[in-house]
Chains A and B, each alone.
Chain A
Amino acid sequence: DIQMTQSPSSLSASVGDRVTITCRASQSISTFLNWYQLKAGKAPKLLIYAASSLQSGVPSRFSGSGSGTDFTLTIRSLQPEDFATYYCQQSYSTPRTFGPGTKLDI
């Protein structure tokens, strides 16, 4: 299985801040990398796929980059509704493993 790691595991920020979350794969996965947002009591939401493609309807303050083994999710100008837990997921091979998550709070 491909192992996914994320850093930091938690992050405190304020409204208006720019934050970056890092995801690393245990082997090269090209750009087969997705990012999801999870809020308590809600279904996960796809933000980014193919490492940098913004899912339809997702605000443009979210962006993704990277290829190979190292990836980043950037949120510029944090909004109150962005405080959540973020997960990366590789879609290179089965099982399509998730990272351990990064909790973003105030």
Chain B
Amino acid sequence: EVQLVQSGAEVKKPGESLKISCKGSGYRFATYWIGWVRQMPGKGLEWMGIIYPGDSDTRYSPSFQGQVTISADKSISTAFLQWSSLKASDTAMYYCARRGFDSKWYYFDYWGQGSLVTVSS
């Protein structure tokens, strides 16, 4: 069974750093892209970026480029999303998701349960 299990909720202060994780199981982790999606309180879904764990090829949305870092360690089947200096506006639920495919069509077919990040002084 394919599963993505994310790290737990975090409460941080502005300016602090943070790294959240997403561990995959039940499939060959290195061979599927993993994406990150943000949902701010009361808002919709935002595509942040995506990484191929096999070679760490990473693509970012321009809205998130330079704001976060996406990484992966295929040896432990885990992807990461990190911030070097959090802002209150980073308060959100963050989902990781596996990018599945059928021929030329791509979609997020399996999702993590979400990691709630709260940034408050």
Q: Show the binding face of A for B, using Cβ within 8 Å.
A: 1, 31-32, 34, 36, 38, 43-46, 49-50, 53, 55, 87, 89, 91, 94-101
Contact = CB atoms under 8 A, between A and B. Distances in A.
Given A95-B62, A96-B35, 7 more contacts: A34-B107, A36-B108, A44-B95, A94-B50, A95-B61, A99-B44, A100-B44
Contact of B47 (A49, A96, A101): A96
Interface string B48-67: 01100000000111110000
A36 B49 CA distance: 18
Interface residues of B, number: 26
Interface of B: 35, 37, 44-47, 49-50, 59-63, 95, 97, 100, 102, 105-109, 111-114
* Interface of A, helix, strand, loop or mixed by DSSP: loop
A50 B106 CA distance: 8
Contacts, number: 67
A43 B44 contact: no
A100 B59 CA distance: 22
A32 B105 contact: yes
Contact of B44 (A34, A94, A101): A101
Contacts of B100: 46
13 contacts: A1-B61, A32-B105, A43-B113, A44-B97, A46-B100, A46-B108, A49-B105, A53-B105, A55-B109, A91-B106, A94-B50, A94-B59, A96-B106
